[in-house]
Amino acid sequence: MDAAPSAPKGWWTADVPCEEALCDELAAVLAEKFGVGAQVEKAWVRLYLPAPTAPSQWKSHLEQAVAHFRAAWGLPQSDPVRYGFCEDVDWNARWKEGFTPLRVGRRLVIVPTWEPYTPNPGDLVLTIDPGMAFGTGHHETTRLCLRWLEDVIAEWLHPTPPSLLDVGTGSGILAMAGALLGFRPVLGVDNDPDAVCIAEENQAMNPDAASVRFLTGTADAVRGTFSVVVANIQAGPLMAMAETLARKVAPGGRLGLCGVLSDQVASVLSRYEQVGFHAENRHQDGEWVLIALRARS
């Protein structure tokens, strides 16, 4: 009897066209949904799916996810996903090539677990293995939030340190950076239990961030108010949760909203002004903007 044909060794590829400013966001969404590697290029994202898995098992699900993402961001649906095949590659090695030690702001240094790093005096080093969760410090929105948190703590004049709530914590990078900077207490919340697991694994590698608590759920589930709230999500969800976030910021407290494109700022700002905030500043990196707000006293 002839042996059954062996499954091909390698990877199916799916190349998804995307606006350059949204490629990192799309890669994070698809990598999390399908549990596979994603490579970001200038105007598209490549997904690698293991060859033993037949395309018929995932193709329709992928195209539905792409259509949903495009609809959420108002992108055209006309650009087709292109499929191909490549020989075996060490995806883990290729994926890691893009993540090197990164200095953000004046003191924070984000170091991936696989990279050696010798800190300079005064460095606050955060070791991160992002897994499938969003947040490595290399994306513009994460950098904007980290710099803003550093500015907020530098301007804090009260003897009691400010408390911090990180909504949509992902890898936990913002919450843990907050702890290193001096925020107390710090809570990171995410509605994705896998992201919270990754955040807790990262916390285990950062003993100086041991004070951070992580919670699976939404901001609605969080009790009390915080001196500072940061939310690095997307414009649509940020607008939808305006009233919820308004209840989490202490009177006179500060709110940093990120994941907002430059042409979405006016709409997001208008929504938050309706629930009692006024704009302090805005910070931009490429197409992405962080809106810095303050609550009424």
126 φ, ψ to 5°?
Answer: -120, 120
Strands 82-86 and 44-50 turn out to be: unpaired
Residue 185 preceded by cis peptide, ω within 30: yes
142 is in an annotated binding site: yes
Alpha helices in 156-286 (DSSP H): 173-181, 193-204, 235-240, 242-248, 265-274
- Longest Cα pair distance anywhere in the chain, in angstroms? 81
Q: What is the dihedral of CA 243, 249, 253, 257, to 10 degrees?
A: -60
129 is in an annotated binding site: no
**Alpha-carbon distance 177 to 199, whole Å?**
12
- The string over 146-164, giving b where at least 16 C-beta atoms fall within 10 Å of a residue's C-beta and e elsewhere, is bbbbbbbbeebeeeeebbb
Spatial contact of 288 and 264, defined as CB atoms under 8 Å apart: no
Residue 222 per-residue DSSP state = -
168 is in an annotated binding site: yes
Structural tokens at position 169:
């914590």
Nearest alpha-carbon partner for 235 in 276, 197, 287, 185: 287
Residues comprising the binding site for S-adenosyl-L-methionine?
142, 168, 190, 232
Residues comprising the binding site?
142, 168, 190, 232
